[in-house]
DNA sequence: CTGGGCATCT
DNA sequence: AGATGCC
């Protein structure tokens, strides 16, 4: 039964009494939002944490010298955030680089387009909070909501004797000292918990931030920013009306975005008060029932939405924006670059993506920031396996052609086009292994993000749990040993950005294979035998089977494999030497801003060498850092070439893709893979001629992973 | 000179 | 697949 029992009674007796937490059915007052799916405790204690200039803090931890200078984090031409030294000089968030430099000529800029470090720190923060109580919901990378109602009740029970209640930090609209103590013991305890958590965050992660303590997410969020850097504020119920009315416009209400604000304005509503008194019926006409009620409630400061544990992300994506991209070659290279990084992240996550999506944004004078278009498709199982097994290069080689196919569904490359953004995304992430506990997926970040091992078990268990018993751990925050976390971490020795890669290979091609192509000189390119129908493709099976493939055998294969074969088969091939041929092609590519495989951690802050000529602002190169000589370089070097030993087969390469490359590039690619090919791996396995089949199928199941199925067919 | 994620709802 | 929202 409701364990809420243990709580004490007292104070606001009435309303809370009936259904404090457990509350079964009657939502009573909660009915407000129309949607009554989750009862929502009548009185909760919700915390909202908001880290101070998050990206800037992460960079200052990585390079302490930055603490003393005005620092701006730059993404393209925008300062997305800056430290307080810079703010003193007039720099603000989302200011253009030009304006910022004008205001503060000495502003030091660090590029922040690669979110790796921010994401890692962000999850450490969430994990830390979760170690005290599982009900933690993320909002972006730098904010977290936490429902500490249970923790508060427990403390209330323990310390029932001492009535010494006071608030930690500020209390909204209360001059200060006059603590109205125990009229609100729960919120007061919440303020203590918030203070302890902020201290833990600072001690263990080196981060400072603000916290808001209130009875709902809406209110906690609104109040948290009352006193800005590194402070906390509690909002008492009697001040709800005040805090809402003080908002300068409806747009300030969380949940009211750009579009909604415009629609409201069209109805003549501009201030919060306007919406509070506006007839609900009229609102319903515009927004529909549920949305109307929700909006009105928000204006009134009413929000019964629960803190929903976020857990591991449901999708992983990587994107880049630019001024102009108008050739297929550039698109291909960009996709390859984005995929290399994304696949690496996906591998670390540990889950297997079932869906891949490609999104683009076209240039358009009018609607510049909108209109994104996307196409998605399933991720072939064997590709997902490559990701999970760590054969990231192979996976990328298989995904690039898929992505190009999706691209061509949206863009007619024979006509001119002008893109300003490309995004690649994996979703429908499936926890591997048997126990599919759909939800338990705490995988990734939670488990291995930090140091592999110590990781927290707690996170795994805490995750799902029936709300009824989601107990907070509340081990005294102070001692709290369980959590691990390495405090300030790694970066002390940050790696130096600069040189490592730029110099290394002047050519800068990263190691990742871009396209796998089967190369045989086209003997008859198209099919010889099996062709049955000319058309379509993707699904039609037999057409275009390579000459050496036995159609009968082909039919027995799983569909994905058939597809793979078809796509790789329809590329040209050359049979010259005997090997099969599948080559991995490496395209010279620029950039790399994303880290290639193995050293994900190292990331450069600046990475010049990018293709974008334009930016090269004065990025900083941190003083201390320096490179560790040997290692980085070595790593890099070896990766780039020889390494590809296990090359792979072609996956599906769109011939179109390959053919679109400039001749010299094609040539280079060809010779490139030629070199790699000899390496170990499979060549040997090729069984004699095509007798294959049956048994091969079997073997194929498992061992063949690294090599393509083509080997079974290929004879020659 | 407008970033790079994420989520939810339709 | 798109819109919208939030950081």
What pLDDT, in 10s, does the model give residues A518-576?
222 212 222 222 222 222 222 222 233 333 333 323 333 334 333 443 333 322 232 22
Å: A436 CA to C1 C1': 28
Å: A445 CA to B9 C1': 27
Averaged pLDDT for residues A371-393: 94
Rounded to an integer, what distance in angstroms lies between the CA atom of residue A84 and that of residue A106? Answer: 14
A375 touches A358 (CB < 8 A)? yes
| Better-predicted residue by pLDDT, A339 or A434 | A339
| Better-predicted residue by pLDDT, A541 or A55 | A55
- Of A59, A127, A137, A143, which one is the catalytic site residue? A143
Q: Is the CB of A371 under 7 A from strand C?
A: yes
Six token digits for residue A393: 């290069």
Q: What does the pLDDT look like over A326-341, one tens digit per residue?
A: 999 999 999 999 999 9
Say what the pLDDT of residue A609 is.
Answer: 29
Q: Is the CB of A416 under 7 A from strand C?
A: no
| Residue A373 pLDDT greater than 60, yes or no | yes
A348 burial level (CB within 10 Å; 0-12, 13-18, 19+): middle
Å: A295 CA to C6 C1': 16
Å: A14 CA to B3 C1': 48
- Residue A76: nearest nucleotide (C-alpha to C1'): B3
Q: Is the CB of A439 under 7 A from strand B?
A: no
Calculate helix-pair angle for A185-205, A116-130, nearest 10 degrees: 140
- pLDDT, averaged across chain A: 65
Q: Is the CB of A286 under 7 A from strand C?
A: no
| Residue A177 pLDDT greater than 80, yes or no | no
Confidence of residue A364 (pLDDT cuts 50, 70, 90): confident
Six token digits for residue A661: 């490359």
| Residue A282 pLDDT greater than 70, yes or no | yes
| Residue A375 pLDDT greater than 90, yes or no | yes
Averaged pLDDT for residues A399-413: 95
Chain A span 269-328 residues with beta carbon within 7 Å of strand B: 290, 308, 310, 313-321, 323
A538 touches A555 (CB < 8 A)? no
Say what the pLDDT of residue A425 is.
Answer: 97
Non-local (6+) Cβ contacts of A147 within 8 A are A44, A45, A46, A47, A133, A135, A306, A307
Averaged pLDDT for residues A666-677: 30
Least confident residue range of A74-78, A106-110, A388-392, A455-459: A455-459
A376 touches A360 (CB < 8 A)? no
| Residue A448 pLDDT greater than 80, yes or no | no
Confidence of residue A163 (pLDDT cuts 50, 70, 90): low
pTM for the full predicted model: 0.64
Phi, psi (rounded to 5 degrees) for A504:
-45, -70
Whose structure tokens read 């009824």? A468
Q: Measure CA to C1' and name the residue nearest B3.
A: A75
Percent of chain A with pLDDT over 90: 49
Phi, psi (rounded to 5 degrees) for A323:
-70, -45
Q: Is the CB of A113 under 7 A from strand B?
A: yes
Q: What does the pLDDT look like over A210-246, one tens digit per residue?
A: 999 999 999 999 999 999 999 999 999 999 999 999 9
CA distances from A616 to A55, A74, A494, A655 (A): 19, 11, 20, 36
Q: Is the CB of A252 under 7 A from strand C?
A: no
Å: A545 CA to B3 C1': 46
Confidence of residue A98 (pLDDT cuts 50, 70, 90): very high
| Residue A15 pLDDT greater than 90, yes or no | no
Least confident residue range of A60-64, A110-114, A305-309, A545-549: A545-549
Say what the pLDDT of residue A103 is.
Answer: 94
Non-local (6+) Cβ contacts of A581 within 8 A are A518, A519, A520, A573, A574, A575, A650, A677, A710, A714
Q: Is the CB of A367 under 7 A from strand C?
A: no
Confidence of residue A473 (pLDDT cuts 50, 70, 90): low
A427 touches A357 (CB < 8 A)? yes
Q: Is the CB of A473 under 7 A from strand B?
A: no
What DSSP element (H or E) covers A665? helix A663-676
- Residue A55: nearest nucleotide (C-alpha to C1'): C7
Q: Is A670 helix (H, G, I), strand (E, B) or coil?
A: helix
Confidence of residue A159 (pLDDT cuts 50, 70, 90): confident
Å: A176 CA to B9 C1': 43
Q: Is A102 one of the catalytic residues?
A: no
Å: A139 CA to B7 C1': 9
Q: Is the CB of A77 under 7 A from strand B?
A: yes
The count of other CB atoms within 10 Å of the CB of residue A238 is 11
| Sequential DSSP letters for A201-264 | HHHHH---EEEEEESSHHHHHHHHTSS-TT-EEE--GGGHHHHHHTSSSGGGSTT--HHHHHHH
In sign, the C-alpha dihedral spanning A547, A552, A557, A562 is: positive
Least confident residue range of A78-92, A183-197, A601-615: A601-615
Q: Which nucleotides of B are covered by protein (CB under 7 A)?
A: 1-8, 10
Whose structure tokens read 């857990």? A311
| Residue A588 pLDDT greater than 60, yes or no | no
């Amino acid at each position: 039964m409701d364990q809420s029992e243990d709580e004490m009674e007292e104070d606001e007796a009435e309303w809370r009494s009936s259904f404090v937490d457990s509350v079964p059915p009657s939502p009573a007052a909660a009915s407000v939002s129309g949607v009554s799916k989750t009862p929502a405790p009548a009185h909760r204690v919700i915390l909202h944490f908001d880290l101070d200039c998050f990206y800037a803090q992460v960079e200052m931890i990585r390079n302490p010298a930055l603490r003393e200078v005005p620092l701006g984090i730059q993404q393209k031409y925008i300062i997305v955030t800056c430290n307080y030294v810079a703010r003193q000089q007039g720099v603000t968030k989302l200011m253009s680089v030009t304006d910022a430099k004008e205001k503060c000529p000495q502003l030091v800029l660090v590029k922040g387009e690669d979110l790796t470090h921010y994401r890692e720190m962000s999850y450490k923060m969430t994990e830390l909070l979760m170690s005290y109580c599982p009900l933690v919901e993320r909002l972006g990378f730098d904010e977290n909501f936490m429902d500490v109602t249970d923790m508060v009740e427990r403390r209330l029970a323990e310390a029932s004797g001492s009535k010494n209640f006071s608030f930690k930090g500020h209390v909204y609209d209360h001059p200060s000292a006059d603590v109205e103590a125990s009229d609100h013991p729960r919120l007061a305890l919440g303020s203590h918990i918030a203070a302890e958590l902020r201290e833990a965050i600072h001690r263990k992660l080196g981060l400072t931030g603000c916290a808001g303590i209130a009875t709902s997410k809406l209110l906690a969020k609104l109040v948290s920013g009352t006193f800005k850097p590194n402070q906390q504020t509690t909002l008492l119920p009697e001040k709800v009306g005040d805090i809402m009315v003080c908002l300068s416009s409806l747009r300030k209400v969380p949940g009211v975005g750009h579009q909604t604000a415009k629609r409201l304005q069209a109805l003549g509503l501009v201030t919060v008060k306007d919406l509070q008194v506006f007839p609900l019926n009229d609102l319903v006409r515009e927004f529909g029932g549920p949305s109307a009620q929700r909006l009105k409630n928000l204006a009134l400061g009413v929000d019964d939405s629960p803190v929903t544990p976020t857990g591991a992300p449901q999708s992983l994506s990587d994107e880049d924006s630019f001024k102009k991209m108008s050739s297929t070659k550039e698109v291909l290279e960009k996709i390859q670059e984005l995929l290399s990084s994304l696949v690496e992240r996906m591998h670390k996550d540990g889950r297997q993506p079932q869906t891949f999506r490609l999104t683009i944004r076209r240039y358009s004078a009018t609607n510049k920031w909108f209109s994104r278009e996307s196409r998605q498709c399933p991720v072939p199982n064997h590709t997902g396996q490559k990701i999970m097994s760590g054969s990231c290069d192979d996976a990328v080689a298989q995904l690039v052609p898929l992505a190009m196919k999706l691209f061509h569904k949206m863009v007619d490359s024979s006509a001119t086009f002008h893109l300003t953004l490309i995004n690649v995304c994996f979703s429908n992430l499936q926890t591997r292994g048997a126990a599919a506990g759909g939800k338990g997926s705490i995988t990734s970040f939670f488990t291995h993000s930090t140091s592999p091992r110590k990781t927290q078990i707690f996170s795994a268990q805490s995750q799902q749990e029936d709300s009824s018993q989601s107990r907070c751990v509340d081990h005294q925050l102070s001692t709290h040993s369980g959590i691990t976390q390495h405090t300030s971490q790694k970066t002390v020795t940050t790696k130096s950005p600069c040189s490592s890669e730029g110099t290394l290979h002047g050519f800068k091609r990263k190691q990742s294979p871009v396209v796998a192509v089967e190369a045989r000189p086209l003997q008859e390119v198209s099919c010889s035998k099996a062709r049955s129908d000319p058309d379509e493709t993707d699904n039609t099976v037999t057409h275009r089977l390579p000459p050496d493939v036995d159609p009968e055998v082909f039919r027995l294969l799983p569909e994905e494999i058939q597809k793979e074969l078809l796509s790789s088969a329809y590329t040209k091939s050359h049979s010259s030497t005997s090997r099969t041929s599948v080559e991995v092609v490496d395209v010279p590519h620029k950039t790399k801003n994303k880290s290639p495989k193995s050293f994900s951690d190292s990331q450069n802050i600046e990475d010049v060498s990018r293709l974008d000529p334009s930016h090269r602002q004065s990025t900083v190169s941190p003083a201390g850092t320096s490179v560790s000589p040997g290692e980085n370089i070595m790593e890099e070097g070896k990766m780039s070439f020889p390494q590809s030993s296990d090359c792979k087969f072609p996956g599906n390469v769109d011939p179109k893709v390959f053919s679109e490359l400039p001749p010299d590039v094609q040539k280079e690619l060809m010779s490139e893979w030629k070199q790699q090919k000899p390496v170990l791996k499979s060549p040997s396995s090729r069984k004699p001629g095509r007798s294959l089949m049956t048994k091969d199928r079997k073997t194929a199941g498992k061992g063949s992973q690294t090599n393509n199925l083509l080997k079974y067919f290929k004879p020659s």
